[in-house]
Structure 1
Amino acid sequence: MARLPDLEALAVFAKVVELRGFSAAATELGMSKATVSKAVSRLETRLGARLVNRTSRRLALTDAGQRLAERAARILAEGEAAEDEALSQSQVPRGVVRLAVPMSFGLAEVAPILPDFLKAYPEVRVELHLSDARVDLVGEGFDMALRIGALPDSSLVARRLRPVAARTVGAPAYFQAHGRPTHPARLADHACLGYAYLPNPETWRFSNRAGEEVSVRAAGPLCANNGDALVAAALAGVGVAVLPDFVVDDLIAEGRLEAILSDWTPPVGGLHLVQPPGGPRPARVEALAAFLVRALSRRA
């Protein structure tokens, strides 16, 4: 099996030649003089040739040492340049960041603010993945995700940005035709529009300020894996839906949807920024995370 070159010893030798002495090289490298001497001796043993004639007065290179010195200097310079470039990459936001966001929230609140980030960091490219399906951040190679609702225990690093409330809504025309339920249990008599990614889409849970809890079987003509599809059905008078505030609050203000059961609320969730464990993170990832925290926590 091929042996890797002793790059450390070559770099130490190059520094000894550059500074014309073991002591000067040791000081420059933050090593002991003995460590520097051993590195050069190790290189000589590996190459089977003496590189330096050690005298008390000055450094004297052998013929083999003179031939190797120039190449060792190039290796040291290339190594230093590679480290400088990598350090620059880690300090200056640049490169690709992969971000996963729920579809409706991404369209409503993330897509409109991303241009501000991209203008501030022109060397960063964001790959925005819009889907209500919960992605595997580590397995699918995402740098971060925004998630809504209660988070299960996991190794992911999570930061809560703000609460997200849920509203029970329907079109005015639907309530005129079918009545307006005044208790969650009455929803069993109504057409309910289900969200497919709930743990149990056909069971809706509510609680009130008195601490009472109610579960109701919510059956209906449509179950979808995206909130916008449920909004369209609710607006058309197909049935009643439970949807997050950022999806329906404007429609309620416009009178196109009506909120019911104001004394009963579905489980309150939150908006979270989640990232894989570990660190430190590249500057581009830290920059986007900080931007999202600032921009999306304002209404917390």
Structure 2
Amino acid sequence: MEQNLPFNVDSLLVFSKVVECRSLSKAAQLLGMPKSTVSRKLTKLEEDLGAKLLRKNTHQISVTDLGERVYSHSMKILAEANGIRALVEGGKQEPQGGLRVAIPTFIGIDYAARVGVTFLSNFPKSQLDIRLVDYLAHPIKDGYDVVFGIGPLRDSTLIARKLFTLDCFLCASTDFLAQLPEPLTTPSQLNHLPFIDCDFLGSPHKLQLARGRRRVEISPLVRARANNFQICKQYILEGLGVGIMPRQIICSGELQQGTILPVLPDWSPESVEVHMIYPFQLSFSNLISAFYKIAQQIITENSERP
């Protein structure tokens, strides 16, 4: 078995930053090294691999097809390397210090509170400041160490680690369903019923549902809107309309009790990926790694508890 890698892992970091920035100068600035060093490491990486990864001219940098594939793999390698370093650092020193965190309101007070209590209980030398926000916060511009966000990451100065996927489903209260003139069997029926909008994807006027490969689009009549799952759950429990809830949090107890029932269970709304986002320079913070593990732990416990 070959023991020596044909390239330096540090060169992958340089290559990845150049791909994200499409600029040697910007990548060099982010990495805190001279532009000449960035260029030299890129040349060495291509020589070691025996393949062209980038096309450079005086105006721009483009990535070859092979370079795109190498970039995809390099991100996984770097994530593992970061994890190893955080693990080693975490073993040397107890996480300590202050952490300022922004969590979207729609995720909910209960989840944020359980994460905060567990984190502070496990790490007595830490301080935590959690803010529930109703906008997409930026760690650097808004003064946070960590933010929870959804959607693709467009800032190459940040790191995004996936926390969990909210698998959402259509639901309504038993009382609401009982008073309907006919059972709900097709998505088109939802166009004529009051809808509870949780507003976590920007309040689209149209809602896409999927069943296997088939997609349909509906335009429900929004009766109520809130940027918090607990508020929307209460609306649904009171029989005010059909809504969308995540399976892992908020209403697992109501599902078991039968006070909230799935609607059109074969049809699924778009799932929501939630990431923990923080500045690149905090990549090796064992305090952030500890918070990440707690945030994952609580979502798992929420999924399993009755």
**Same-fold status (TM-score > 0.5):** yes
Once the two structures are TM-superposed, the CA of residue 121 in structure 1 deviates from its matched residue by 1.9
Which structure has the bigger radius of gyration?
A: 1
Work out the number of aligned pairs and report it.
209
Residue 187 of structure 1, CA deviation: 0.5
C-alpha spacing 1:102/1:254, structure 2 compared with 1 (3 Å): farther
The residue identity in structure 1 corresponding to 2:222 is G
1:97 and 1:295 map into 2 onto residues whose CA distance is 18
1:93-172 pair list within 5 angstroms: 93-103=95-105, 105-147=107-149, 149-155=150-156, 156-172=158-174
Superposition pairs of residues 258-269 of structure 1, within 5 angstroms: 258-269=261-272
Letter in 2 for 1:264: W
Q: Any conservation in 1 of the 2:197–2:225 contact (CA below 8 Å)?
A: yes
Q: The residue matched to 1:237 in structure 2 has which SS?
A: coil
Aligned-residue offset at 1:294: 4.9
What amino acid maps onto 1:238 in structure 2? Answer: L
**AA aligned opposite 2:126:** V
2:228 counterpart letter in structure 1: N
Structure 1 residue 106: deviation in Å? 4.4
User: Runs of 5+ in structure 2 lacking a partner?
Assistant: 1-91
Q: Distance in 2 between matches of 1:112 and 1:187?
A: 35
Report the alpha carbon displacement of residue 270 of structure 1 after superposing the two structures with TM: 2.5
Give the TM-score normalised by structure 2. Answer: 0.61
On the 8 A contact 2:159/2:283 being kept in 1, the answer is: no
Mapping 1:1-300, distance limit 5 Å: 93-103=95-105, 105-147=107-149, 149-155=150-156, 156-178=158-180, 179-209=182-212, 211-245=213-247, 246-279=249-282, 281-296=284-299
Change (3 A) 1:199 1:292: closer
User: Structure 1 residues 213, 154: closer, same or farther in 2, change over 3 A?
Assistant: farther
Distance in 1, matches of 2:119 and 2:152, equals: 27
Q: Tell me how far 1:192 sits from its aligned partner.
A: 0.8
Q: How many angstroms does 1:190 deviate by?
A: 0.5
Inter-CA distance 296–189: structure 2 relative to 1 (3 Å threshold): closer
1:201-259 C-alpha deviation (Å, 9 max, x unpaired): 331110111x1111111113212222222111111111110121212232121111111
Structure 1: segments with no counterpart, 5+ residues? 1-89
User: Which string of whole-angstrom CA distances, capped at 9 and with x for unpartnered residues, describes residues 48-86 of structure 1?
Assistant: xxxxxxxxxxxxxxxxxxxxxxxxxxxxxxxxxxxxxxx
Secondary structure at 1:206 match in 2:
strand
User: Over aligned residue pairs, what C-alpha RMSD do you find?
Assistant: 2.6
Q: 1:223 and 1:249, CA in 2 relative to 1: closer, same or farther beyond 3 A?
A: same
